[in-house]
Structure 1
Amino acid sequence: MLFVGDDWAEDHHDVEVQDETGKVLKRLRLPEGMAGITRFHDLVGRFVAEDADPSQVLVCIEVDRGPWVRALVAAGYRVFGVDPKQAARHREILGSSGAKSDKGDAHALADMIRTRRHQLRQVAGDSEIAEAVKVVTRAHQALLWERTRHMLRLRVALRDYFPAALEAYKPLGLTSDAVLKLLAKAPSPEAAVKLTLSQISGTLKGRRDIPAKAQAIQDVLRSEHLGQAPLVTTAYASTVKSLVAIIAVLNQEIKTLEGQVEAHFGRHPDAEVILSQPGIGVVLGARVLAEFGDAKDRYASAKARKNYAGTSPITRQSGKTRVVQARFVHNDRLVDALHLQASCALLHDSAVRAYYDQIKAREISHNAALRQVANRLVGILHGCLKTHSPYDQATAWSHRSNDLAA
């Protein structure tokens, strides 16, 4: 067997090749791209027979995705993507001096895959559909996060010079199209005072009780509020118009990407099973699929899936001290999606609600109870995906039927 440590950077890879005894056979720096991967194959070919199985080549690298990793997997090599923290801990085992270099990192990765491969997770290739879902869902969520950042900046600016706008537009939401149109038309208190009922009503199309809402907004905008000097107000108004323009574009692109999320997710064979889960809609289901992936052998058991999800607890024990804690090292996107699923499931599934109430009866905090609910829902999802069967409340909660009935 051949063991390869690959310390990657944006434009190059430092590679070290070891044999089964730990002897360093070759150290080399390869460029990124086709030229580099071609030289990688040539390098491997020097130390293995022509008819050797590519799976006898084990590669350790601190990333589990991207064109380079995809090329290694396509070549038949066994690729292990390790967490940078894991690699750092193994480097400390090899030497305590604290020295660090790209060549040293490649050496640590090669030694790591040679001595600890049974503890590492092999990169399991997801399907092209799942990869596409991941791309669009992450881009969609990134735009949502970006819109929130700009909304908070807008809120701070309005609070500093135009508090009446915050009070008047609060029921509509600062990122709504109606508020953005009103702020674009009247970004200053002086301009807002001149807004007519017809102008305000024109932005509220599609809402209920438009005349009353428009009158309430106008009344607040025309009431007395603290403000800034005229010159400062003009400066603030110009920055608000820029923020409004950015948020408007983000709103449009979010809608566009949401359509792409729905289209890609709908093509996946597991979409129906995932959508059958309590508390999951199309966008949330796409996020769950994207972050879990769909490689069939990635999760050996429901426990393995829960551990990856970060919903299962960890135990720290030393002597007579034993503490059970939440996992703080996890996939933030996946945890966010599962937390939201658990929150929604409480409102739409009686068995989930009963389970949550039982946990709360033990004086567990809301977030901790939601985490336990999410942990249970991950186990149910694993079973449904394994058998490719939709969620059934009676089957999923049969082991708790007596408790829930009581």
Structure 2
Amino acid sequence: MIYCGTDWAEKTHDVVLVDDSGQLVAKRHITDDADGYRILLELLTEHGDTQETPIPVAIETSRGLLVAVLRTGKRKVYAINPMAAARYRDRHSVSRKKSDPGDALVLANILRTDMHVHRPLPDDSDLARSLAVLARAQQDATWNRQQVSNQLRSLLREYYPAALAAFEPWRNGLCRREAREVLKVAPTPSRAARLTRTQLQAALRRAGRERSIAAEAGRMQEVFRATWAHQSPLVEEALGKQMLALLVQLEAACTAADDLAEAVEEAFPQHPDAEIILSFPGLGVQLGARVLAEIGDDRNRFTDARGLKAYAGSSPVTRASGKKSSVSRRWVKNDRLNHAGYLWAFAAITRSPGAKTHYRRRRDHGDWHASAQRNLFNRMIGQLYHCLQQHELFDEQTAFRSTPAKALEAA
């Protein structure tokens, strides 16, 4: 059997083939373009790669055009963690020498000796992969929007507290279009104090507001014309220009997050697993898409629910040595799925009587809020695994049957 290791880079890649005995069979240095990919596929075919018996490939990434080309057909591609590859490198050389062809050889030998303990990339459908791109991009855009919003809020606290007070009653204050339109016409507190109700109403209408326009304009005018501390005029004008620059970034971040959210809402219902995922309490379109993006739709990806729970970081990990042992939370996990699980469990507490009862029992048992919520997520993601495997919708009575106290303590 032949094994392939590929050390990727931005412009060129090193490819190494070894046999069962570890002997070097072939070595190539290819470019990162269509010609290089063609040479790679021809090299694999030359050494026995077919649809029935594809050559497995190890690489230190799971993304990019090179990985997409290698995943054609039934070929298994193993994304080896760079830290794991570094540990394997020490097995072959104690001098700590390093080279790109040497790294490719290490990756090939990882498959030759320990392929059974590494997991190939899941065989997800194209629809699931496209949803993963959209859901992750929307999540990144949301995080970026919050980061820019925090920067803007910090800047306004330095010279413009009236704006924060005016937008405080609104949910998602600075991220709302009304707040951004008002800040455009009044970047400094001095200009805000001179705004008329007509100007404020016009700004609210441009933002798309349709109700309580006159009342909101009157409220904001009172806030802006109240007594506030001020910076010197020159400093205030400079800070206003800095605020407008941040406002442009926030406008772009909000637009990107909204556009990607609409794309997710259009694509997610088309997936066959969407109905099952949305049947769970606490999972809407956006959060359900994030969960599907991380677990995929390959039913053979996880051998059992415990594997999925460990991947999500919801199940505890035990560390034992001699007479000492400790049980703690997992630090190595899928951070995106773990973050989605936190929001999922938080929302499920108010939408599912069984989830709320389970959470309260864990709190009464002595768990902190985060620990009890993680325990609830651990239970619900196991239920999701079962429903996806059996093609069943969530059922409240089946999911949260009355559990004896002893069984709860052992959970």
> Shorter-chain TM-score category?
over 0.9
Choose which of 256, 278, 287 in structure 1 pairs with 2:281: 278
Q: CA deviation at 1:95?
A: 2.8
* 1:162 corresponding residue in structure 2: 160
* 1:129 corresponding residue in structure 2: 127
Q: 1:149 to 1:51 in 2, by over 3 A?
A: closer
Aligned length: 402
Q: 1:223 to 1:373 in 2, by over 3 A?
A: same
Q: Which AA in structure 2 matches 1:338?
A: G
In the TM superposition, 1:99-114 aligns within 5 A as 99-114=97-112
**Per-residue CA distance 1:17-65 (angstroms, 9 max, x = gap):** 11001111222211123212211122223333x878433x121111223
Q: Which AA in structure 2 matches 1:257?
A: L
Q: Do the aligned residues in 1 keep the contact of 2:5 with 2:105 (CA within 8 Å)?
A: yes
* 2:149 corresponding residue in structure 1: 151
* 1:377 corresponding residue in structure 2: 380
Unpaired stretches in structure 2, ≥5 consecutive residues: none
Q: Which AA in structure 1 matches 2:265?
A: E
**Per-residue CA distance 1:89-133 (angstroms, 9 max, x = gap):** 222233333332212211211111110011000122211111111
**Per-residue CA distance 1:221-266 (angstroms, 9 max, x = gap):** 1122222221111111112122223322332332222111011101
* 1:302 corresponding residue in structure 2: 305
RMSD: 2.1
Q: Do the aligned residues in 2 keep the contact of 1:275 with 1:281 (CA within 8 Å)?
A: yes
Q: Which AA in structure 2 matches 1:340?
A: L
Please state if 1:230 is matched with 2:233. yes
**Per-residue CA distance 1:349-387 (angstroms, 9 max, x = gap):** 011111111111122111111111111111000001001
Distance across 1 between alignment mates of 2:342 and 2:240: 38
Distance across 1 between alignment mates of 2:287 and 2:51: 44
Q: CA deviation at 1:276?
A: 0.4
* 2:53 corresponding residue in structure 1: 54
* 1:2 corresponding residue in structure 2: 2
Q: Do the aligned residues in 1 keep the contact of 2:122 with 2:296 (CA within 8 Å)?
A: no
* 1:242 corresponding residue in structure 2: 245
* 2:195 corresponding residue in structure 1: 195
Classify the secondary structure of the residue corresponding to 1:174: helix
Distance across 2 between alignment mates of 1:95 and 1:191: 69
Q: Which AA in structure 2 matches 1:353?
A: K
Q: Do the aligned residues in 2 keep the contact of 1:59 with 1:78 (CA within 8 Å)?
A: yes
In the TM superposition, 1:340-351 aligns within 5 A as 340-351=343-354
Q: Do the aligned residues in 1 keep the contact of 2:165 with 2:223 (CA within 8 Å)?
A: yes
Distance across 2 between alignment mates of 1:225 and 1:89: 60
* 2:179 corresponding residue in structure 1: 179
Please state if 1:67 is matched with 2:42. no
TM-score (norm 2): 0.92
Please state if 1:362 is matched with 2:365. yes
Distance across 2 between alignment mates of 1:76 and 1:30: 23
Segment drifting more, 299-308 vs 250-259: 250-259
In the TM superposition, 1:79-94 aligns within 5 A as 79-94=77-92
* 2:26 corresponding residue in structure 1: 26
Classify the secondary structure of the residue corresponding to 1:4: strand
Distance across 2 between alignment mates of 1:256 and 1:137: 12
Q: CA deviation at 1:14?
A: 1.1
Q: Do the aligned residues in 1 keep the contact of 2:51 with 2:74 (CA within 8 Å)?
A: no
TM-score (norm 1): 0.93
Please state if 1:290 is matched with 2:293. yes
Choose which of 208, 218, 222 in structure 1 pairs with 2:221: 218
Unpaired stretches in structure 1, ≥5 consecutive residues: none
Distance across 2 between alignment mates of 1:68 and 1:295: 21
Q: CA deviation at 1:147?
A: 1.2
Distance across 2 between alignment mates of 1:117 and 1:58: 9
**Per-residue CA distance 1:301-342 (angstroms, 9 max, x = gap):** 111111111211111111111111111122221111111000
